[in-house]
A and B are shown apart, each in its own frame.
Chain A
Amino acid sequence: MSSNEMTGMTTSSGEALQENRVPIWRLRKAAANYIALIPYLAFALFPFYIIAITSIKSKQEINNLGESPFWASGIAVENYTFLYTNTSFFEHWMVNTLIVTTVSTIISVTVGILAAYALARLKFRGVEMFGVAVFITYLVPQTLLFLPLVDVINLIDDFIPIRDTYWSLILTYPTFLIPFVTWLLMGYFRTIPVEVEECAYLDGCSRLGALFKVVLPMAIPGIICAILFSYTLSWNEFLYSLVFIQDEYAKTLSVGVFTELIRGDIYFWGSLMAACLLGTLPIVILYGFLMDYYTSGLTQGAIK
């Protein structure tokens, strides 16, 4: 990769960005930058391209190993119809994933807003300690928790039947969502001036009233960011879903595709890639509209 970079830097004669009154050396330099970025772009997009192109190939074409695997001769929809007619992809996995992501996002963002507001604004004993605790839980890897959480789910299952249903995921996803949302929103709430709230209190607002009527409207970018992150993280979750759910009809997308679509025969690639594409698209579309929120959250959550 880095060697490509160097060649990109030196062979700068490429496409000329025609703009008047810009010195030629500057154009060369700009062109060199763009050319140097091509390997990065190719690297980032390569598997998406392969997934997309393979998903529209027929079985015969995929298995014709002499032909270039980088191009499709036509568009075949058989992989997509296969997903619809022969698997639970749309009927169950997609629906389950939507339910789990939506409900756990609502829970996590609501609980996270309350906690973040208290930790960012209110003064009570232990507030610093709670802040640090939230940060630590944010970093606890799922690897440490998935085995004992099976028992917690079984324990709850004695009272409410949640085992092997998506409710077990709705219960456990907030464990990694809430700490992140809280951490993220603490940063946003701190940027809102205290005076605005004081005015609200003078107007007779209660604490909750001030939070909902004054603080939240000002923190909307942060809230959108928190929703977007929760949605993405729970949509992409794999380990808990793999461990907690065995019932084919209760599975989420990632796990359903991974455990049910890989069959013994060698003809599964087309439908597998179609499923990968369809499972990725909703997130990509969502993020296409809200990219700026996402990047600001990424830098906020990580650095500040």
Chain B
Amino acid sequence: MVTGTEVGGAASSPPLTLKSRLRRSIGPDLDGYYFILPTVIIVFCLILYPFCLAVYYSMSNAFIGEETHFIGLENFHYIIFEDDIFMMTVRNTLLFAVISVVFKTVLGLLCALLLLRIIKLRRFLRGAMLLPFVAPTALTTLGWWLILDPTYSHINWIFEHVWPFSVLDVGPYNFLGEPTLALGAVIFVNVWRGLPFFIITILAGLVSIPDHLYEAAEIDGASIMDKFWKITLPLLRPVLAVIILFSTIFTLGEFNIIYVLTRGGPMNETHLFATYSFTAGVLNHEIGLGAAIALFLFPILVVTVILLLRLVRRDSQYEL
């Protein structure tokens, strides 16, 4: 690495300046700090400081337009022991995340395997499948809202008019009005939106598996299933682990789909941490409570980050 630099100001030739001594202890590239300074400022002012503020709020009775007092762990005590909606939120969050991620993984793997084997139209198909992921979630979810609306539902129309459903007397369902159906509906839309991420990243993982492994297995007389379980899946495991962790953290923090489709209803039955925190903190002005609810995401975040850092680092070791 070259050490000559003008960004820091002084030239670097004399051996005993303050600068060269700093270099010895800090590293050759002092100007690195200038480069990361804007990022550091933004992270401190707009991520770290707000985060500390959130921790403080969670231990206060902050309410819009009133004086804020420190009340210790009262909010957490209330949420955990007295708040039924919060218990429901925890249950929903677990169900939502686990079911969504399982479906996304399985369907994503199947689709990626299919896409891997085709040549014609591959680009078009890949592009079309990616659409749900790039389009604005709030707007496409409004489309799903119409599809699931009790009066205008396209699904109910099929149940009513299309054989064999029309004979079988299925539906009509109030998809967003019944708690179980509503939770199913938001999971469904979440799978729809998140699936492309799985398809594309798994496809990239599949492409990187060398062909000669399969060829060797074929010579040994391995069946398709053998090849899948003994070659594809083990070699795909690092990729799968990373995207499952990524998806978990983003699924747990999901706001848009829930808020647009159900707003946490009916009767607060489909809240996740994000929508419940929004309802408490913004709609009901109980900032302290809202902050406490959102903070429950933090331990999950920490665990995910630790796991991811291990995986990502191990990956990069292989590559370099």
Could you tell me which A residues sit within 8 Å of B by CB distance? 1-2, 5, 17, 29-30, 33-34, 36-37, 40-41, 43-48, 50-51, 54, 62, 65, 68-70, 111-112, 114-115, 117-119, 121-125, 127, 130, 132-137, 139-149, 151-152, 171-172, 174-175, 178-179, 182, 194, 197-198, 201-202, 206-208, 232, 235-236, 238-239, 242-243, 253-255, 257-258, 266, 269, 272-273, 275-276, 279-280, 283-284, 287-288, 291, 294-295, 298-299, 302-304
Contacts and interface: CB of A to CB of B under 8 A. Distances in A.
Given A141-B297, A207-B5, A122 B50 contact: no
A299 B4 contact: no
Contacts of A111: 38-39, 42
B294 A147 contact: yes
A299 B204 contact: yes
B129 A145 contact: no
6 contacts: A124-B27, A145-B54, A236-B137, A291-B127, A302-B201, A304-B316
Interface in B282-296: 282, 287, 290-291, 294-295
B135 A178 contact: no
A277 B86 CA distance: 36
B206 to A, nearest CB: 11
Given A41-B128, A112-B39, A134-B39, A284 B134 contact: yes
A298 B201 contact: yes
Given A1-B107, A30-B118, A147-B281, A208 B134 contact: no
Contact of B308 (A139, A149, A253, A299): A139
A51 B143 contact: yes
Given A147-B291, A302-B246, A243 B282 contact: yes
A132 B130 CA distance: 29
Contacts of A62: 152
Interface string B19-52: 0000001111111110110111011011101110
Contacts of B305: 135-136, 139
Most chain B CB inside 10 Å of its own CB: which residue of A47, A54, A152: A47
Contact of A255 (B31, B111, B130, B138): B138
Interface string B136-149: 11111011101100
A178 B39 CA distance: 7
Interface stretch (B76-84, B225-233, B270-278): B270-278
Given A178-B39, A269-B152, A295-B130, 8 more contacts: A1-B107, A40-B114, A51-B143, A146-B281, A201-B4, A202-B2, A238-B136, A283-B136
Interface residues of B, number: 109
Q: Which of B50, B132, B274 has the most chain A CB atoms closer than 10 A to its own CB?
A: B50
Nearest to B252: A141
B120 to A, nearest CB: 7
Contacts, number: 307
B53 interface: yes
B223 to A, nearest CB: 15
Nearest to B123: A291
Contacts of B281: 146-147
B50 A152 contact: yes
Q: Is the interface of A mostly helix, strand, loop or mixed?
A: helix
Contacts of B106: 2
Looking at chain B's contact residues, the main secondary structure is: helix
A219 to B, nearest CB: 15
Nearest to B247: A302
Interface of B: 1-2, 4-7, 25-33, 35-36, 38-40, 42-43, 45-47, 49-51, 53-54, 57, 106-107, 110-111, 114-115, 117-118, 120-121, 123, 125-132, 134-140, 142-144, 146-147, 151-152, 154, 157, 161, 192, 195-197, 200-201, 204-205, 239, 242-243, 246, 249-250, 252-253, 255-256, 259-260, 273-274, 277-278, 281-282, 287, 290-291, 294-295, 297-298, 301, 304-305, 308-309, 312, 315-316, 319
